[in-house]
Amino acid sequence: MGLPDLPGLRPLTARSAVLSTLLGAHPPRLPARGLVKVGELFDIAEGTIRVALSRMVAAGDLHQADGDYELTERLIRRQTRQDQSRAPTTQTWTGDWEIVVVTADRRPPASRTAFRQTMAGLRLAEVREGTWLRPANLDRPLHTDQEVPLVMLGRPTSDPAALAATLWDLPGWADRARRLHDALDRADGLPASFIISAAVLRHLVADPLLPAALLPADWPGAWLRARYERFDTSFQSLLRAHLGIHDD
């Protein structure tokens, strides 16, 4: 398949192939025959793709109508986060940090899990149980759907760069970003390009998007985004041709 030797790069399952395809589609809707053709890239049988589609509809991941499948609202929000990760909107950082504090004494496990997912989606890090924070440099509303925590702005008394380094694995993110950048250069064929594309998008979603003042001087975030945009133009053209989609 021509995959570079990078941990986490492996052929996709039926579900992940369908999901990755629809997350990259705008609008996120394709006919079953197109998703079957995606499965062919990974030697996934048509029957296996169709079973995965049925299960994803039953699980609330997809809607099905007239032979087409589209993402549900929950996954459309995930697609939005993915798109925003490619071209993040930031604002000038004044030194303030967003601080979110859970005030409820007891929460069911499902509620805690949902809240953690929300905080991660907003790119906040947990400094201790129930307390989340990040630099206030993102131009987006700070709200949750699950509960109403205490939301504040504040400034740490310690070195903010040192604090950021304890909240996020910046060397680990940067190392994988560089390796993914190299993998984009070595992608060989549509199946490998598909897998690498999905891996890059997942990694960009995990970027904490910190202010430059809190990042190492050689931070590769913008570098990876620029390389991916060039790669994606060619990749999407090849994928549309494989699916039989013709531009007007």
Burial of 1 (0-12, 13-18, 19+ CB in 10 A): middle
Mean pLDDT of the chain: 91
For the domain 169-243, what is the CATH code? 1.20.58.1460
- C-alpha 20/C-alpha 9 separation (Å) is 14
pLDDT per residue as tens digits for the range 112-131? 888 888 898 899 999 998 89
The amino acid at 69: Y
The gap from C-alpha 55 to its chain's centroid, in whole angstroms, comes to 22
What is the pTM assigned to this prediction?
0.90
What is the mean pLDDT of each successive set of 10 residues along the chain, which is 248 residues long? 69 93 94 95 96 97 94 93 94 96 80 85 91 94 68 93 96 96 90 93 96 95 96 92 77
- C-alpha 241/C-alpha 193 separation (Å) is 14
pLDDT per residue as tens digits for the range 159-170? 999 999 999 999
Does residue 22 contact residue 71 with C-beta atoms inside 8 Å? yes
- C-alpha 58/C-alpha 241 separation (Å) is 30
Angle, CA of 218, 203 and 244, to the nearest 5°: 125
Burial of 228 (0-12, 13-18, 19+ CB in 10 A): buried
Asked if CATH classification 3.40.640.10 holds for the domain at 14-76, the reply, yes or no, is no
What residue segments make up the domains of the chain, in order of their start?
A: 14-76, 97-154, 169-243
* pLDDT at residue 2, as a whole number: 59
Q: Reduced to 3 states, what is the DSSP secondary structure of residue 187?
A: coil
